[in-house]
Chains A and B, each alone.
Chain A
Amino acid sequence: MAEHNGTWWIWKVFWILLVITGVEVVLGIIKPEFLLTQVIGTSILNIVFILLTLVKAAYIVQIFMHVKYEKKAMKYALYLPSLILIPYLTFILLTEGSYLFS
């Protein structure tokens, strides 16, 4: 790729992904007390896990899959359907799931 020289940018993303996964595993094993407070139907810890996951996903898609360097039309074609449909589906199903017993 024209924007990059060498392979340092690949290893940079590797270290970011590795450190985030490491943090997730450590948090998952020790489960710090102060992160177990319940907010919007789940614990702060779970929200932290989901945010870290989205950061990892963003690095994989943007850098490893090169989307960051694609044309704007291509970005819209890929991001709009996924960023609208997936959160929508998640919202609908999780909300319904909580009502299935009532």
Chain B
Amino acid sequence: MSSNADLIQDTNHWGGGSRPLGARYGKLMMWFFLLSDALTFSGFLTAYGLMRFKYESTWPIAENVFTHFPGLEGDQPLLYVALMTFILIMSSVTMVLAVNAGEKMNRGAVTNWMLWTIVGGFIFVGSQAWEWYHFIIGDSGAVETARQEILHVYNAEGERLSFSQVVHGMEEGHASNHGETFTKAEVLSSMKGDASLYLKEPGKAGRAFTHAESVAFLEAGDVVQGANMIHNEYGRKQFANFFFFITGFHGFHVFSGVVINFVIFYNVLLGTYERRGHYRMVEKVGLYWHFVDLVWVFVFTFFYLV
């Protein structure tokens, strides 16, 4: 009687021998998980695309939304997210270096590169928290009409004004509200007092309204500052919903990746893989980590660039 193992050895699946895919069980399962996860993220990003194509003319322009950079004043579009992208690519590189060192059974190098990967992951999650914080706090404020459409304040020169500039005047006010909250009454009385102010829809083809229409919109509506799942000063609330959902889901992947990386790192320190004779666990967690980087490449393009 031959054992099951012998039977498997003898069978020639798909003409590829007993290992048609040439990969071990653990790696194969990691790959199939990543494949299904890739389809999940595709579902989210294409759903974002659907909403964006539906509201093409008034969809918020990302470079007018994410403009802050720590320690710098004024508009710095794309710089912060470029830095975040760089950090994630860098931690992907240190992960390949760890896998590469594992194949050479170089425990010291694996320890070193895994540690750098974890540090990079932490910085990325922290950066995302900072970005969320600024997105939630808001920037210039906006008027939400009774029909829940978002309108931004502009002056005669066609410049977008913050509530701070509307209420305190161009000299005293700041281009960003800096967390100061304004009531509907304050903004309304300032709007009424300056006939050059008007409201305009966000996006690349947003309509502009006359001063009288604008005052009527504010009287019937309300002011919104910052963004959450219900109100979004930057424009369509679906933009905030998708932003929270997609970057949140990706951020959760980064966070769980950091946790898993730490578990593997701890086992490297304990010498588990040295005793086992191979570092294949580092390779598997590496695949997950690269996948997180891969998804970010797409999020970066479809949320911030396009």
Interface residues of A (CB under 8 A from B): 1, 4, 7, 10-11, 13-14, 17-18, 21-22, 24-25, 28-29, 42, 46, 49-50, 53, 56-57, 60-61, 64-65, 70-71, 73-74, 77-78, 81-82, 85-86, 89-90, 93-94, 96-98, 100-101
Interface contact tally, CB-CB below 8 A: 128
Closest chain-B Cβ to A48's Cβ sits at a distance in Å of: 10
Q: How far is the CA of A65 from the CA of B56 in the complex (A)?
A: 36
Q: In the assembled complex, which residues on chain A have CB atoms less than 8 Å from the CB atom of B265? A: none
Interface: B53 (CB within 8 A): yes
Chain B 58-101 per-residue mask, 1 if CB under 8 angstroms from chain A, else 0: 00000100000000000001110010011001101101110010
Closest chain-A Cβ to B236's Cβ sits at a distance in Å of: 13
B interface residues, how many (CB within 8 angstroms) = 49
Q: Can you list 17 residue pairs at the A/B interface with Cβ under 8 Å?
A: A1-B100, A10-B96, A13-B93, A14-B93, A21-B300, A24-B300, A28-B77, A60-B293, A64-B95, A65-B287, A71-B20, A71-B23, A73-B16, A74-B22, A78-B31, A86-B42, A100-B50
Contact A21 B85 (CB under 8 A): yes
Contact B85 A28 (CB under 8 A): no
Contact B50 A96 (CB under 8 A): yes
Contact B50 A61 (CB under 8 A): no
Contact B53 A98 (CB under 8 A): yes
Interface: B103 (CB within 8 A): yes
